[in-house]
A and B are shown apart, each in its own frame.
Chain A
Amino acid sequence: MKRLFLFAILALLPACAHQPKDLSKFEAAKPASILIVPVVNQSVEVTAPDYFLSTVPVPLGERGYYVFPVNLVKRVLEDEGLSDANLVHNAAPQKVCGLFGSDAILYVTIKEWSAKYLLLSTVVDVRLAYAIKDCKTGETLWDHEQAMTYSPQNNSTGNPLGDLIVMAVNAAVTKAAPNYVPLARQANNIAFNGRPGERGIPFGPYASQEQMAEGARTGIRAPKN
């Protein structure tokens, strides 16, 4: 009986283990360019989509893809009557891509972008759903969901009153301008570049040999500005 129980646990284990992503469609499609379209916002922060949009081109470009100029793309879509990101996301990929001549298209939905104000500190949460689709077939080549949480570090000064002041300052700073953007950058970095045990997206055609060797060695590459 005991043995049967153990067997049941062992049988369940693989289901718990992280499934490696199937990137075979992505690798077969070999896109050289990625069109980043405006972001769908499911959070209550109205500024979130534009702020988030600003964080996307750098990591994708660094990954070796031609990245269409995001601000130009946003404005051209507005001119075409597609100023609502939901419309862009619901339109056929082929139609949107056709306007720009891209190989692949990246859709991002902001699932969460919120700050919880505690008494003396602020906790910031972001959760993003990404999907890259093939512009020719409309098929999904890759998708990923990434959540990040940030709470300010308490830099201990070694005396309780000093600590209180530091924490109060932290809270004030984050309340005035919640620190979403660094968190969004971190989420993108993990989503696109992967981390040990997760692959991220394949390298684009402009990636260098060193980049690919580094990526293969560590499974992660964190670009710094």
Chain B
Amino acid sequence: MSKVRMSWGLLLCLTLASGCVQTKYGWYDYDQKLYRHYRDPGQQEVFLEQLKEIVERGTSSNRIPPGLFAEYGYVLYETGKFNEATRYFDLEGKKWPESRVLMAKMVKNAQLRAGKAEGRVQ
């Protein structure tokens, strides 16, 4: 019994200790999620959900990594959610001035596609 308690204590210590070594940004296993996306490319919805989670957690902790708003925006774009995509391309451009040239192009594209999609509906 005491052995069990001790190992739990050890686990807690290790968890706390590893918490101290923090990355600059909140990546939340972005690399592993990207890897899995390339391994099972059919799972687009799963990848979308995972990117959404990274973006949400990164936004609330104010540690959003470079590129992640846009990465999420692009998968939204690919799944036909053009207006939502525009929002995240905008967020990327506001957060990182280095991305503005690209994000302006992405926003233009997304809005063009959104317009076309609406045109079809009418």
Contacts and interface: CB of A to CB of B under 8 A. Distances in A.
Given A62-B24, A224-B18, A69 B38 contact: no
Interface in B45-87: 65-68, 70-71, 73-75, 78
Interface string A10-39: 000000000000000000000011000000
Given A32-B98, A62-B23, A66-B96, A53 B38 contact: yes
A112 B48 CA distance: 32
Interface of B: 18, 21, 23-25, 27, 29-32, 34-35, 37-39, 65-68, 70-71, 73-75, 78, 92, 96, 98-102, 106
B70 A33 contact: no
Given A62-B25, A100-B101, 12 more contacts: A57-B65, A66-B96, A68-B99, A69-B71, A69-B92, A71-B75, A72-B73, A101-B98, A185-B31, A211-B24, A223-B24, A225-B29
B34 A71 contact: yes
Nearest to B21: A224
A70 B66 CA distance: 11
Interface residues of A, number: 36
A102 B71 contact: no
Interface in A53-71: 53-55, 57-58, 61-62, 64-71
B74 A71 contact: yes
Contacts of B74: 69, 71-72, 75
Contacts of A156: none
Most buried by B among A47, A53, A71, A181: A71
A103 B38 contact: no
Contact of B38 (A54, A57, A64, A224): A54
Contact of A101 (B21, B67, B70, B101): B101
A50 B29 CA distance: 16
A69 B25 contact: no
A181 B74 CA distance: 25
B71 A54 contact: no
B23 A101 contact: no
A100 B102 contact: yes
A208 B63 CA distance: 13
